[in-house]
Amino acid sequence: MLQSQYRWRIAEPDRYVSDELARELQVSPLLASLLANRGVDTPELARSFLHGRDESLHDPFLLLGMEKAIPRIREALERKEHILIYGDYDADGVSSTALMIHLMKRLGASYDIYIPHRSNEGYGLHNHALDWAHQQGVSLAITVDTGISAVEQIAYASALGMDVIVTDHHEPPAVLPEAYALINPKLPGCPYPFKGLAGVGVALKLAQAILGEVPAEWFEIAAIGTVADLMPLHDENRTIVRRGIESMRASAFPGIESLLQISGVDMAAVSSVNIAFALAPRINASGRLDHAGRAVALLTTEDAEEADKLAHELDLLNKERQQVVNDIVHQAVDMLEAKMNGSGLPPVIVLAGEGWNVGVVGIVASKLLERYYRPTIILDMDPETGNCKGSARSIPGLDIYEALTDCKELMHHFGGHPSAAGMSLHRDELELFEQSLHRFATARLLPEHFVPVAEADAECRLGELNVSVAEQLELMQPFGMANPSPRLVLRKLQLREARKMGKEKNHLKLVLEQDGSTLDVVAFGRGELADFLQPGSLVDVLGELSINEWNGKRSLQLMLQDIQITASQVFDFRGEANPVALIERYIRIFHQASADQAPVAALVHSTSPFRKAGSLNDGRIWVYDKTGGILPENDSAGLMLKDTVRTVFLLDPPETKEQFNALWMTFRRVENIVVMHSINGYQGRLEAPDREQFKRIYVLLKKMGPGPLDEKTMLPALSRQCSISMRMMSKVLEVFEELGFVHRAGGELSFVPNPPKKELTASHRFHELNETAEMERYLLDAETSQLASWMMSRLKGAS
């Protein structure tokens, strides 16, 4: 049995709506149901959604503040005022700044740009930057992707004689800055019909308001910021990103072309997924580890040689960023486990460390959220000043922006969205900050909020899928927030093959079959699972359908997101050279053990080689009882609830059927059995009782005389003569003793001259020997499939 990592929540389409869409659009029932599930529930909406229309580009003057801002910008152009473009250091801010540079160049404006350094200055407007702008003669500042919370800074700019036009998309605070104009679709009273624009989307609307129509290639830049900032890809964003991708496939920007090449992306097939996982991380790396100006230069240069140079620099920065993230994640995990000291996970994880690069703490927070599924805040602490700057990531059940608002008096600054936010505070406030967040979260989060959910669009059978259906699903592109790549659930597929792939063998390839159809399944980073997937198993999978093209052949492929096996399993690792490492790997894969839930597994053996086995010191270790049954060998085993055991590791085979049966009577809810005992050099093999063999042994005993005979001397000699183990010989003598053929006492054996006539089958020990020999034959000699079938039949019999 393999538990899924997530609880699968499968959408239920309106059958009437989906049937009508399939009929009217002449598309597959699967595509029709996906459209219906996403609110695209009429043929007219579906045609627009699938094939695109420009009417979803709304009038920019519907944005509150636009009618006031545009005349002020035109006045600045006419009077040749010096304009400041003030941006942000993430990919959205970089894209917004780059778009405004292109606009300023087209307008022939006199301008400067300013993007704060993430580590040295932090988010938002800063008075020292406004002082610098004032010295440069700036009289009009236009913010992009920032400014909606800068009440004091904008008041300072006004005191310097500068007008400020704010373009932003973040949540507006209760008190708004007194800027010359505020442009944000989320402002109270703003009639703009779509509230989901990115910062670059708002900048694009400003450009549209000034120019009437913007160059087609500018949508490339707008698409990058929109996808990178995880904005919902519906309504106007869908049009922005779709038009941006179309232009990007023959990009007019040397920087975008170079970045696609260095990322290994085929320009002709670029997609929103490539933007999210290839372009955005490299652009973000500039602002995380260096200064975002380098990324702005990439998106605005007209020189191909400079573009190549900048693209290589961003690629190297991204690799460095990945290593920095890994290092901090390890430190954060150690800090959290030490902080908990055996207790459960807190409702909100708050960790602060010195020397943690503030540019990557958001990524680290995401990594910890993925690992522990708790809202997480990671902060970098300045050892000299005590100031902490951090980022938060949250789960769907907790609005982290609302949680921060609840304790705003403890912070210098904060801002963000329901799922992600940034903040700064002093270390002296950290304890109260954490306590406040815990109280807030405890009052709102229920147990079900801590169970990760994977949304699935449909459940289908393999026979319903083919390349043509996959091609139709591609019409739903671009994929991203609010329009994710469709996820499908397929159940009871038979596993034909499981193997590792990739240079480092860290990826997984499966071949599944159902109703005569086969499907290739790929899972990146899950190569270890191949060792625990047995051909013939029935598996359920959740994944994203794609088309694999190889040597001109197009075939169906599923990108695996989650997998489960609902039947119990027997894993054959007999003769495993490093059982401790195997146990640790199994627990990591199967039990997904978090810090507040110990793995529900038990180790059973006949000796004690694992007492000092590293991380298994606290393992639930049981030992076979010589009188039959099993006993706890350590406190962890003695205190455990036996019904919580889901996996039993057999480090040694049982010696008797009583011991074997005791396993399943003790662990009644076991799901998986991992067999790990040695099969070579096993001492004392038993054999199925053979009448001729018993007759021969009886004759040899009779020749030795009436006795008494010393068993220590007799047994080895008799064992050699009959070519059987001493253990087997001892079992034979037990049968003879029970039948009255011999008498045994004090280590001596006497032959009974005229024993009663009895059949061997009259002996209870004869039948026990037969059953134990059969047990050993399966445990030591059987093929994997035979071993699994035999053990599962015994397990069902015991339950």
Which residues, 6 or more positions from 227, have their beta carbon under 8 angstroms from its beta carbon?
233, 241, 272, 275, 276, 280, 478, 480
Q: Check whether 134 has a pLDDT greater than 90.
A: yes
Angle at 527 between CA 524 and CA 530, to 5 degrees: 130
CA dihedral 690, 691, 693, 698 (to 10 degrees): 140
Same domain, 549 and 610: no
Q: Check whether 666 has a pLDDT greater than 50.
A: yes
**E strands, 706-763, where?**
709-710, 742-745, 748-751
Q: The CATH number of the domain where 521 resides is what?
A: 2.40.50.460
The tokens describing 117, both together, are 């350094």
Higher-scoring residue by pLDDT: 182, 54: 182
Which residues, 6 or more positions from 405, have their beta carbon under 8 angstroms from its beta carbon?
414
> How far is residue 150's CA from residue 163's CA, in Å, rounded to a whole number?
14
Residue with tokens 């505020």: 182
Helices (H), 10-123: 15-25, 29-37, 43-51, 66-78, 91-107
- 343-359: per-residue pLDDT in tens? 789 999 999 999 999 88
Confirm whether 44 is domain-assigned.
Answer: no
Give me the mean pLDDT over the 298-320 stretch: 97
Higher-scoring residue by pLDDT: 619, 213: 213
Average pLDDT, the chain: 91
- 9-47: per-residue pLDDT in tens? 999 989 999 999 999 999 999 999 999 999 999 999 999
Give me the mean pLDDT over the 477-503 stretch: 95
Higher-scoring residue by pLDDT: 203, 653: 203
> How far is residue 789's CA from residue 791's CA, in Å, rounded to a whole number?
6
Residue 69, classed as helix, strand or coil, is helix
Q: Of 236, 253, 270, which residue sits at a domain end? A: 253
Q: The CATH number of the domain where 366 resides is what?
A: 3.10.310.30
Give me the mean pLDDT over the 377-391 stretch: 95
pLDDT score for 756: 87
Confirm whether 260 is domain-assigned.
Answer: no
Q: What is the 3-state secondary structure (H, E, C) of 580-631?
A: HHHHHHHHHHHHCCCCCCCCCEEEEECCCCCCCCHHHCCCCEEEECCCCCEE
Q: Check whether 598 has a pLDDT greater than 50.
A: no
Residue with tokens 């960790």: 351
pLDDT score for 594: 37
Give yes or no for a contact between 400 and 375, defined as CB atoms under 8 angstroms apart.
Answer: yes
Same domain, 217 and 181: yes
Pairing state of beta strands 630-632 and 621-624?
antiparallel
Confirm whether 583 is domain-assigned.
Answer: yes
Confirm whether 154 is domain-assigned.
Answer: yes
> How far is residue 213's CA from residue 205's CA, in Å, rounded to a whole number?
10
pLDDT score for 681: 60
Greatest extent of the chain over all pairs of C-alpha atoms, in Å: 130
What would the DSSP string read from start to end of 288-347? HHS-THHHHHHHH---HHHHHHHHHHHHHHHHHHHHHHHHHHHHHHHHHHHHHTTSPPPS
Residue with tokens 């406040």: 436
For 400-405, the CB contacts below 8 A with 24+ separation are: 400/375, 401/171, 403/348, 403/375, 403/437, 403/440, 403/441
Q: Check whether 485 has a pLDDT greater than 70.
A: yes
Q: Check whether 414 has a pLDDT greater than 60.
A: yes
Which residues, 6 or more positions from 233, have their beta carbon under 8 angstroms from its beta carbon?
226, 227, 241, 272, 478, 479, 480, 481, 482, 483
Q: The CATH number of the domain where 176 resides is what?
A: 3.90.1640.30
CA distances from 304 to 97, 105, 246, 297, 310 (A): 20, 19, 21, 12, 10
Give me the mean pLDDT over the 161-182 stretch: 96
Same domain, 131 and 249: yes
Q: Check whether 797 has a pLDDT greater than 80.
A: no
> How far is residue 564's CA from residue 533's CA, in Å, rounded to a whole number?
10
Give yes or no for a contact between 288 and 359, defined as CB atoms under 8 angstroms apart.
Answer: yes
What would the DSSP string read from start to end of 750-797? EE-SS-----GGG-HHHHHHHHHHHHHHHHHHS-HHHHHHHHHHHHHH
CA distances from 175 to 136, 149, 165, 178, 583 (A): 30, 8, 17, 9, 57
Q: How confident is the model at residue 269 (pLDDT cuts 50, 70, 90)?
A: very high
- 606-619: per-residue pLDDT in tens? 865 554 444 454 56
pLDDT score for 556: 94
Confirm whether 314 is domain-assigned.
Answer: no
Query: How many other C-beta atoms lie within 10 A of the C-beta of residue 447?
Result: 6
pLDDT score for 664: 86
Give yes or no for a contact between 652 and 605, defined as CB atoms under 8 angstroms apart.
Answer: yes
Confirm whether 773 is domain-assigned.
Answer: no
> How far is residue 631's CA from residue 373's CA, in Å, rounded to a whole number?
36
Q: Check whether 597 has a pLDDT greater than 90.
A: no
748-770 burial: b if 16+ Cβ within 10 Å, else e: ebebbeeeeeeebeebebbebbb
For 551-559, the CB contacts below 8 A with 24+ separation are: 554/467, 555/467, 555/520, 556/465, 556/466, 556/467, 556/470, 556/519, 556/520, 557/519, 557/520, 557/521, 557/522, 558/488, 558/490, 558/519, 558/520, 558/521, 558/522, 559/521, 559/522, 559/523
Same domain, 794 and 726: no
Q: At what angle do helices 29-37 and 43-51 cross, to 10 degrees?
A: 100
Q: Check whether 54 has a pLDDT greater than 70.
A: no
Give me the mean pLDDT over the 403-428 stretch: 92
Give yes or no for a contact between 24 and 469, defined as CB atoms under 8 angstroms apart.
Answer: no
pLDDT score for 613: 45
Q: Of 564, 596, 625, which residue sits at a domain end? A: 564
> How far is residue 200's CA from residue 91's CA, in Å, rounded to a whole number?
9
- 512-530: per-residue pLDDT in tens? 999 999 999 999 989 999 9
CA dihedral 93, 98, 101, 103 (to 10 degrees): -100
Q: Of 192, 227, 253, which residue sits at a domain end? A: 253
Helix or strand run (H / E) with residue 728: helix 726-739
The residue segments making up the domain with residue 419 are 345-443
Q: The CATH number of the domain where 696 resides is what?
A: 1.10.10.10
Confirm whether 379 is domain-assigned.
Answer: yes
Same domain, 109 and 215: yes
Same domain, 421 and 378: yes
Please list the residues that pair with 388 across neighbouring strands.
381, 425
Give yes or no for a contact between 481 and 231, defined as CB atoms under 8 angstroms apart.
Answer: yes
> How far is residue 154's CA from residue 93's CA, in Å, rounded to a whole number?
19
Please list the residues that pair with 181 across neighbouring strands.
165
Give yes or no for a contact between 44 and 489, defined as CB atoms under 8 angstroms apart.
Answer: no
Same domain, 352 and 209: no
Same domain, 674 and 695: no
Pairing state of beta strands 487-501 and 507-514?
antiparallel
Same domain, 698 and 740: yes
* Count of alpha carbons within 13 angstroms of residue 73, beta-carbon side: 27
Give yes or no for a contact between 286 and 295, defined as CB atoms under 8 angstroms apart.
Answer: yes
Q: How confident is the model at residue 601 (pLDDT cuts 50, 70, 90)?
A: confident
Amino acid present at 576: E
Same domain, 426 and 574: no
Residue with tokens 């901090």: 328
> How far is residue 526's CA from residue 463's CA, in Å, rounded to a whole number?
26
Same domain, 589 and 710: no
Same domain, 90 and 219: yes
Q: Check whether 149 has a pLDDT greater than 80.
A: yes
- Count of domains forming the chain: 5
- 577-594: per-residue pLDDT in tens? 888 889 888 888 886 533
Confirm whether 592 is domain-assigned.
Answer: yes
Which residues, 6 or more positions from 347, have their beta carbon under 8 angstroms from its beta carbon?
374, 375, 437, 438, 441, 442, 445
Q: What sign has the CA pseudo-torsion 232, 320, 123, 253?
A: negative
- 669-689: per-residue pLDDT in tens? 888 999 998 877 666 788 888
Using a 10 angstrom Cβ sphere, with 0-12 exposed, 13-18 middle and 19 or more buried, the burial of residue 793 is exposed
